[in-house]
Every structure is written in C-alpha cells, then in structure tokens.
Copies of this chain bind each other. A is one copy, B any other.
Amino acid sequence: MVPPRASGGDKRRMILDAAVVAFARRGFHACRVSDIADEANVAYGLVYHYFRSKDEILDTLFLDRWNVLLAFIAQTAAERTPPRDKLHAIAAAIIDFYRYDPALMKVIIVEVMRSANTFGLRHTDKIAEAYVLIGEIVASGQATGSFKREVSPRFAALAFYGAIEQVLTGWIFGMLPEGDEEFDRAKSAIVETICGGLDDMSYRAASVRSV
C-alpha cells in the first residue's frame, strides 16, 4: 500500500517525492518551487514541465493518496465483518499510512485536510466521500443492532475521523510519543473510545442489571 520512492529516471516521480520532503520540512507556503527542484536534483523549469503550478503538485500528492485510501475504505465497507472490525481496519490503514510514509501523511493532513481554507475547499467533496463511507458502516451497524441509534451515522463518522486526525496531528507535531507500539495501541484505543465509550461498562452494566 506504500509506493516506492523513485531512485532516478522517472523525473516526474522524483519531483513528486521531493515535493513531499520539501513540503513536510518547510510547509507548503514557505516552500519555494526551487526548494522542490533542488531536492529533486532537477532544473527549475522541469517542475513546470510536469505540473502546471505548485498547487497542482499538492493536489496530485493528495489525490493519488486519498484515492487509495477511499478505495480501501470502500472495499472494507463492503466486506462481511462486524462494523467494529471495519472501523478498526480503517483506523489501522490510516495510521499505517502514517507509519510507512509519515512525511506524505503529514503533508496531506497539515496542508490539505487541516488547511481547508486554502486547499481543502477544493477537495471538500473528495474528503466528504470518506465520511459518507464511514457513515454507511455505522448505519449498517445500527441496522444490524450492533450499534445503538442515538447518534446519527454522519455525526459518528465525523467523531471517528476527527479522533484519528487529532491523534495523527499529535504525532506530527510531537505532542504524542511515536513508535510501532504507540501506533498499534492507538488503533485499538480509537476504536475502543468511539465504539466502547469512556464509560465504565461494569458500572453501567451493574446499573442496568439493577433495573
């Protein structure tokens, strides 16, 4: 699920990879096109041979990746597994995206998803597709009785995705410790929080029993 970095030859690929590094390092705005060209060891003008603008590079980076993620979510949603497992698979996929290509994921999260004003607005629909798919998982979970109906699927999808993004943001900006263990723990924790809730079950079960 993680594309290999170009070693040379495919200049377009090299520029894209260099852009990830450059954007991740300095941020999209502070990053000059010449930074990308330098990082790619390529002439300035070649960037404009392959891409119409700096924006288009970011768009390409985002869309290529996001489409892979969307395909994965769609496929996951279609499987015959418990909805909780589906959500776990999705959380795991997103976190693994970050684990295996943190720079790219940082760029996507920070420069596109969390910069809605600048770029996100251009991709609002594409981003919302993920919410819709996740919402459908929740809805079908409610239909089969594994999820309760108090919370609207759309809302649950936002909360679920919001929690993941926040955690990723925590890693990206060093507010949360990173590491393979942390990554795996986070996958479960997110699902446990969103699905299981913070409330203590035995306490609640007890009160239920007492009814």
Contact = CB atoms under 8 A, between A and B. Distances in A.
Nearest to A128: B175
A176 B189 CA distance: 26
Contacts of A110: 116-117
Interface in A193-211: 193-205, 208-209
A141 B197 CA distance: 13
A202 B208 contact: yes
Interface stretch (A52-60, A64-72, A97-105, A162-170): A162-170
16 contacts: A27-B117, A114-B115, A115-B115, A116-B169, A121-B173, A148-B198, A148-B201, A151-B189, A151-B193, A155-B193, A159-B159, A159-B193, A162-B165, A162-B167, A194-B198, A205-B205
Q: Which 8 A-B pairs have the closest CB atoms?
A: A197-B197, A162-B166, A159-B163, A205-B208, A162-B162, A27-B117, A114-B114, A148-B200
Interface of A: 27-29, 84, 110-111, 114-118, 120-121, 124, 128, 131, 138, 141, 145-148, 150-152, 154-156, 158-159, 161-167, 169-170, 172-173, 175-176, 186, 189-190, 192-205, 208-209
